[in-house]
Amino acid sequence: MNFNFFDKNPTKTKQVKKKKSSAREWVDAILFAVIAATLIRGLFIEAYTIPTGSMEKTLLVGDFLFVSKVNYGARMPITPISFPFAHHTMPLIGTKAYYDGIQWKYRRLPGLSEIKRNDVVVFNFPLEADSPYYRPVDKRENYIKRCVAISGDTLRIINTQVYINGKAAETPEFGETRYFVKSDGTDFNPQTLQDMEIEVQRSTADDYIFNMSKQDADKIRGWASVKSVTQMIRPLNDFEPQIFPGDSQYKWNEDNFGPLIVPKKGWTVNLDSTTYPIYKRAISVYEGNKIEKVGNDILINGQKSTTYTFKMNYYWMMGDNRHNSLDSRYWGFVPEDHVVGKALFVWMSWNTNGEFFNKIRWERLFSGIN
Q: Report the pLDDT value the prediction gives residue 12, as an integer from 0 to 100.
A: 53
Q: Report the pLDDT value the prediction gives residue 5, as an integer from 0 to 100.
A: 39
Strands 268-270 and 307-309: what pairing? antiparallel
Asked whether the CA dihedral 168, 169, 172, 177 is positive or negative, the reply is negative
Task: Centre a 10 Å sphere on the Cβ of residue 207 and count the other Cβ atoms it contains.
Answer: 14
What pLDDT band is residue 41 in, cutting at 50, 70 and 90? confident
Distances, alpha carbon 142 to alpha carbons 56, 121, 370, in Å: 17, 10, 19
Q: Report the pLDDT value the prediction gives residue 18, as an integer from 0 to 100.
A: 67
Buried b (16+ CB within 10 A) or exposed e, 124-162: bbbbbbeeeeebbbbbbebbbbbbbbbbebebbbeebeb
120 pLDDT higher than 80 = yes
> What's the fold here for domain 22-153+315-370?
Umud Fragment, subunit A (2.10.109)
282 pLDDT higher than 80 = yes
pLDDT in tens, 76-117: 999 999 988 888 898 888 889 999 899 999 999 999 999 999
Report which of 108, 37, 21 is spatially closest to residue 70, judged by C-alpha positions: 108
Task: Centre a 10 Å sphere on the Cβ of residue 276 and count the other Cβ atoms it contains.
Answer: 18
Per DSSP, what are the bridge partners of residue 334?
Answer: 315
CATH superfamily of 176-231: Peptidase S8 propeptide/proteinase inhibitor I9 (3.30.70.80)
Report which of 310, 265, 346, 340 is spatially closest to residue 77, judged by C-alpha positions: 340
Q: Report the pLDDT value the prediction gives residue 1, as an integer from 0 to 100.
A: 43
Q: Is 334 helix (H, G, I), strand (E, B) or coil?
A: strand
pLDDT in tens, 196-220: 989 999 988 899 999 999 999 999 9
In the chain, CATH 2.10.109.10 sits at 22-153+315-370
In the chain, CATH 3.30.70.80 sits at 176-231
Query: Can you give the pTM of this predicted structure?
Result: 0.89
What pLDDT band is residue 17 in, cutting at 50, 70 and 90? low
| 243, 252 Cβ separation under 8 angstroms | yes
Helical residues (DSSP H) of the chain, grouped into ranges: 22-43, 190-195, 214-221, 276-281, 328-331
To which H or E segment does residue 17 belong?
A: none
51 pLDDT higher than 50 = yes
